[in-house]
């Protein structure tokens, strides 16, 4: 089934997923839960890879026997390695989990929590699972990647004065750069595996209004106005990227209306800084150094 641009893409366009396995990080609520629910409804077996396994269990109970819960804390590389060692192969990996604009905190390995959870945890997870992925990797970014300016000399905010929104934007730019760079490296390796990036626009999820800042009341108000869309609608770009036969590797998918804040999913533009090959390659090397994982795509797929 090939989607035509004359009609908005929706869950009705998701091809039959029977026999396919999809791993979704952070599927215990919000976008991840909606993504898992929609995929299972089309026949996929979904692995809910979550830190909060109790909440994930509630989602799995609603989905039924097509859902499995596995413990994964992206803020702890030991947990990432343990998870990767206990799951079998999958057709699709969806790097969905994330935290947003939190106060300065450190992960188990001492990374700034947003770059550590949103990017480094997913970088390590993808590196470890890529040999078992048969179809594609989808990484979640955000329209707020526009704030991102990757500082390779201080990725973990050890010397700069911490600014939580800048740190969030950096982590989402890192997600975008990683997805783009992974696509290029897969292509260079002659692999048919795809790497796509998606963003939800302005979706009403558990992240909205929980940044512990004065912006929370404004964000909560915005989530109730027509600007915001539901978590189910926010999941559509991810679902398109994860399932559409004609979704292209290296493309960024998001809402197509109101400057990318809402609307039917489709191809999305992104900040030209994400095209900086020197920064992208530097980010890859720094991510390898910090995680201790040599992510040689060519060697991984050999």
Neighbour tally for 192: CB within 10 Å? 11
- Reduce the DSSP state of residue 34 to 3 states and report it: helix
Computed from CA positions of residues 153, 196, 230, 269, in that sequence, does the dihedral angle turn out positive or negative?
Answer: positive
Q: Does the annotation count 162 as an active-site position? A: no
Say how far apart CA 34 and CA 124 lie, in whole Å: 24
Candidate list 162, 168, 202, 253, residue with the active-site label: 168
Cα-trace Rg, the chain: 18
Number of helices followed by number of strands (H, E) in the chain: 11, 8
Bin 174: left if φ > 0, else alpha if -120 < ψ < 50, else beta: alpha
Distance of CA 108 to the CA centre of its chain: 21
Is-contact 236 265, C-beta < 8 A?
yes
Is-contact 121 180, C-beta < 8 A?
no
Token digits of residue 162: 């911490």
List residues with catalytic annotation: 168
């Amino acid at each position: 089934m090939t989607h035509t641009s004359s009609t908005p893409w929706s869950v009705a366009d998701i091809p039959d997923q029977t026999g396919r396995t999809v791993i979704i990080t952070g599927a215990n609520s919000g976008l991840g839960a909606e993504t898992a629910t929609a995929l299972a409804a089309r026949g996929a077996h979904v692995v809910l890879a979550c830190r909060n396994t109790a909440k994930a269990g509630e989602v799995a109970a609603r989905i039924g026997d097509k859902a499995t819960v596995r413990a994964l804390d992206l803020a702890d590389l030991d947990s990432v390695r343990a998870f990767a060692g206990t799951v079998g192969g999958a057709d699709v990996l969806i790097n969905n989990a994330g935290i947003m604009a939190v106060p300065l905190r450190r992960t188990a390995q001492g990374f700034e929590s947003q770059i550590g959870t949103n990017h480094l945890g997913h970088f390590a997870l993808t590196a470890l699972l890529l040999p078992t992925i048969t179809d594609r990797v989808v990484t979640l970014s955000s329209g707020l990647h526009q704030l991102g300016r990757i500082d390779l000399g201080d990725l973990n905010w050890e010397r700069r004065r911490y600014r939580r929104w800048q740190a969030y934007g950096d982590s989402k730019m890192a997600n975008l750069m990683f997805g783009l760079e992974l696509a290029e490296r897969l292509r260079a390796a002659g692999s048919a595996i795809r790497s796509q990036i998606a963003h939800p626009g302005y979706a009403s999820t558990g992240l909205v209004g929980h940044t512990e800042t004065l912006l929370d009341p404004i964000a909560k108000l915005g989530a109730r106005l027509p600007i915001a869309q539901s978590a189910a609608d926010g999941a559509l770009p991810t679902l398109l990227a994860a399932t559409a036969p004609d979704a292209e590797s290296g493309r960024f998918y998001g809402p197509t209306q109101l400057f990318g804040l809402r609307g039917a999913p489709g191809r999305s533009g992104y900040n030209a800084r994400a095209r900086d090959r020197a920064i992208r390659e530097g980010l890859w090397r720094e991510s390898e150094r910090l995680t201790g994982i040599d992510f040689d795509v060519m060697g991984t797929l050999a």
